[in-house]
Amino acid sequence: MNLKLFNTRLSTESAFADQQAINSFMDSVSVKKTSTQFVPGNPDFWSILVFYEDLNGTHKKETEKQPAITEEDLNETEKSIYAALRLWRKDRASEINLPEFMVCHNATLMTVAKEKPQDLLALSKIKGLGDQKIAKYGDDIVAILNAF
């Protein structure tokens, strides 16, 4: 049996995307049990733990995600996206008083620039972007990608 943790934010703009990601995942697996917990904070959110069995080997473990991409693998447009993501990361890290690598590693940003995921579910398939980072930064990252 496997488990996956989801966080559903309560803001109107985030709740719909979070719920779509959960529904899409749950439609593709055999759900055995779920557990929910309201987490007060800034922002408040629901934490959902799903115990499941994989139906067709469609959900890879974290260690099986795609290999890291290097800067040499990026074309000119992807390099522009990468530069924009690095600038966003620098500003975000400064706002929350964390080192930049704690927001996202360079390899993660390069992979995002190369893959160009268009929603939170696609973003979750990128190595280095777990549920917590997607909850914190996913909307920002998708917005940057949509600007290109």
Cα 64 to Cα 141: distance, rounded to the nearest angstrom: 23
pLDDT digit string, tens, across residues 63-79 = 444 555 778 888 999 99
- Among the candidates 59, 75, 97, a domain finishes at 59
Domain span at 15: 2-59
pLDDT digit string, tens, across residues 31-72 = 788 888 888 877 788 888 888 887 665 544 444 445 557 788
- The alpha-helical segments, DSSP class H, found in the chain are 12-27, 76-96, 100-103, 106-115, 120-123, 131-146
pTM score above 0.85: no
Contact 120, 134 (CB under 8 A): yes
- Among the candidates 17, 35, 59, a domain finishes at 59
Phi, psi of 68 (to 5 degrees): -65, 145
- Among the candidates 37, 59, 81, a domain finishes at 59
Beta-carbon-side half-sphere exposure of residue 41 (alpha carbons within 13 Å): 11
